[in-house]
Structure 1
Amino acid sequence: MKWLKGYQDHEVSLIGDYQLTVGRSPCIQMLYEFGIKSTFLPNTNDPNITSDYISHSSTISFNIPSCAKNQKLKGLNITFKYTVNKEKHPWPIFAKISNKTKNRDWIYNPTVFGKPEPGKVTIWLSYWETGNLLDNGDQINVSFIMENLEVRECGVRLVYADVDENMENIMEFEETLLGDLSAFKLSTETYYLCRRDFFKSMEVDGPTPSWFRDSVGYKVDYTEIQGWRKTGRFQKL
């Protein structure tokens, strides 16, 4: 993602976690959470933004193909382009990766997200280092869960590394996709990657929305879920 430095002086409106957004420069930065790198950009046709699989809906499915003998799958670059329903307040975005073959789900809610200007498109770029969590032939579904946002396009690009290349250590926390996520487990092999107590806020505002229950699953006991203490961090591009 070194090419993103060319956008470091561009600006995007961020909403979400007040402690991370108040008084912060509107210039584009990278967010690190759970070993996931992500950033929000104004719409662009930059040639560096490419996808192996593209959908114009909020979900995309594919099977992990075989790779060259001297390579291994390292992670997924995920792109989500969206606009806001100007008549309603935008709801936080959730990205969900499901390994249907292994019956594992990872649901990520970033602490902040980009709010498009009226009539404009915002791009959410994220890189998920998956390592050995995904194998050749696995059936994968990537979906985006949101309200009051309109999908323009979503895409996935497979990222490979040489077999003898060490996986990138992008965070010092153990709480990465390849580390210990037990504190974020909702049920067997389902992980809700969120730094704020989203469930408590919904209890104050009303019952858990049906669209979120449908996406996460009724097998989750929402009454026992607690918020988590650590916050994400920003870093300049």
Structure 2
Amino acid sequence: MLVQLSVGWCSSLENITFQSGLFTLQEFNYEGCFKLCEIQGLFKLVPIAKLDEADLGHMQWTKAYQDHKVDLVGDEIIKGRTFNTQMLYEYGIRSTFLQGVTDQSMATHEYTSTSSNYLSFHVPLHPKKQRIQGLYVTVIYRSLGEDRNIESLPVFAKISNRSKGVTWVYNPVVYCKPRVDEDAIWLSYWPIGNTLDAGDEVHVDILVHEGTISTSGYGASLVYMDAGEAEKEKEKSEMMKSEEVIGGDLSLFQVKGGFYLCRRDFYRPMIPAWFFGDNIEITDSRRWRTHNNSYRDHFEGFNNRRNPNRHKIGITLGVSFISNDETSKILKAVSSVESVETVSIHKEIGRLFVCGRFNPSTVVKCMREFKKMVQVLEFEVHKSGSTLFTFHR
């Protein structure tokens, strides 16, 4: 069983698949994979532009925003990249995030709430020839101010069937960083129809770090299917029994009172009581999550001060120098990146050399506005004067 994998800085890698459908990795590094969009058993990102109306269901109206830019944060997968509106597939849940939407009336729902706390409704009676397939949820939220740490703060969706005592708490691998004074919208589809019966009380909530994000509206709609569709759905669910998705095998994500669909270690050693009603030991949710790196980062910083040459990085950029003015702009932009120590330029060979202990993706991100003139060709990582590895594009 594979438990450790490193595919860092594979710039052409788009998909990772495994022989087994179960995601077994305990340590996984995919930093600097700027085209990666799918990891089997973990998540998949697909541009809305590539999906048809049948794929989108109740989210069909989002096609009007398929070319909008969206500021995704939360994971290594988004660093150094720009995205148009995407569909995120994870745990069987489909999510899309929108920015700059002025006509929010397009997201119409059966049940709505302008409360900043939650949405609550009771499942109605429905024809015997129909059954509930799932639940569409919309949440409108915005930033409370310029918080530089918002990119590393978690956002959770919480759906509870209070009548049956079951709760799903879900942390998406990526989410939209809201701009100040502008609403962002999170739309998601939850295939939980087999757990909802007429009369059940359902609560929908979004849980965020206090003081960073506020919610201003919730919407939810039940999705029904007829008898023929139900039979097909039953066959599909049988095929998914061994997958770690809603309707499949979520036993390793199960905690007292529900399912904690999160692979990050945000709250070591305790899942907060406001998720499930009781404090839960993090070990009760046995599925792998990334480790809390705060102590490691502190130790790395100490070592860097003791040994300034430790883990230095050199990046070579191929540059098309158009004018002295553009050259100055590029030099200024690269020099402003945190922990960049030296920047040198060689016009005769069209090269720009950058050295320091910076994160390579921050330099790539910095160069976005110059993408027509700049291309990353290679980089080297040095430790105490020796080369650990060299990357060639």
Taking structure 2 as the reference length, the TM-score comes to 0.52
* Alpha-carbon spacing, 1:223–1:195, altered in 2? closer, same or farther (3 Å): closer
1:32, distance to aligned residue in structure 2 (A): 0.4
- Report the counterpart of residue 38 of structure 1 in structure 2: 95
CA distance in 2, matches of 1:224, 1:77: 29
One-letter code of the match for 1:217? G
CA distance in 1, matches of 2:86, 2:220: 21
- Report the counterpart of residue 233 of structure 2 in structure 1: 167
One-letter code of the match for 2:69? E
- Report the counterpart of residue 132 of structure 2 in structure 1: 73
One-letter code of the match for 1:10? H
CA distance in 1, matches of 2:167, 2:262: 14
CA distance in 2, matches of 1:181, 1:131: 16
1:25-78 CA distance string (max 9 Å, x none): 321110001110001001342554111111122311111001123221111110
- Report the counterpart of residue 233 of structure 1 in structure 2: none
CA distance in 2, matches of 1:74, 1:225: 27
Residue 4 of structure 1 aligns to a residue whose secondary structure is helix
- Report the counterpart of residue 101 of structure 1 in structure 2: 163
Residue 154 of structure 1 aligns to a residue whose secondary structure is strand
Residue 83 of structure 2 aligns to a residue whose secondary structure is coil
List aligned pairs for 1:209-220, cutoff 5 A: 212-220=272-280
CA distance in 2, matches of 1:179, 1:93: 24
Q: 1:197·1:226 contact (CA, 8 Å) conserved in 2?
A: no
CA distance in 1, matches of 2:175, 2:117: 17
More helix by share: 2
1:139, distance to aligned residue in structure 2 (A): 1.0
1:51 matched to 2:51? The reply is no
Q: 2:262·2:289 contact (CA, 8 Å) conserved in 1?
A: no
Correspondence for 2:261 among 167, 189, 193: 193
Greater relative contact order, per chain length (Cα 8 Å cut-off, separation 6+) = 1
Residue 24 of structure 1 aligns to a residue whose secondary structure is coil
CA distance in 1, matches of 2:145, 2:105: 29
1:87, distance to aligned residue in structure 2 (A): 4.3
CA distance in 1, matches of 2:285, 2:222: 33
C-alpha RMSD of matched pairs (Å): 2.5
One-letter code of the match for 1:167? E
1:177 matched to 2:246? The reply is yes
CA distance in 2, matches of 1:55, 1:223: 35
Structure 2: state its 5+ residue gaps: 1-55, 291-393
1:226, distance to aligned residue in structure 2 (A): 4.9
Q: 2:118·2:205 contact (CA, 8 Å) conserved in 1?
A: yes
Q: 1:10·1:27 contact (CA, 8 Å) conserved in 2?
A: yes
Residue 275 of structure 2 aligns to a residue whose secondary structure is helix
CA distance in 2, matches of 1:98, 1:12: 29
One-letter code of the match for 2:275? S
Q: 2:130·2:225 contact (CA, 8 Å) conserved in 1?
A: yes
CA distance in 2, matches of 1:146, 1:5: 28
1:135 matched to 2:193? The reply is no
CA distance in 1, matches of 2:287, 2:247: 21
Residue 160 of structure 1 aligns to a residue whose secondary structure is strand
Taking structure 1 as the reference length, the TM-score comes to 0.83
CA distance in 1, matches of 2:208, 2:283: 22
Larger Rg, first or second structure (1 or 2): 2
CA distance in 2, matches of 1:41, 1:175: 27
Q: 1:196·1:227 contact (CA, 8 Å) conserved in 2?
A: no
CA distance in 1, matches of 2:104, 2:122: 26
- Report the counterpart of residue 4 of structure 1 in structure 2: 62
Residue 158 of structure 1 aligns to a residue whose secondary structure is strand
One-letter code of the match for 1:195? R
1:23, distance to aligned residue in structure 2 (A): 3.1
CA distance in 2, matches of 1:52, 1:228: 37
User: Sequence identity, in percent?
Assistant: 41
Q: 2:252·2:286 contact (CA, 8 Å) conserved in 1?
A: no
Structure 1: state its 5+ residue gaps: 231-237
List aligned pairs for 1:219-230, cutoff 5 A: 219-226=279-286, 228=288
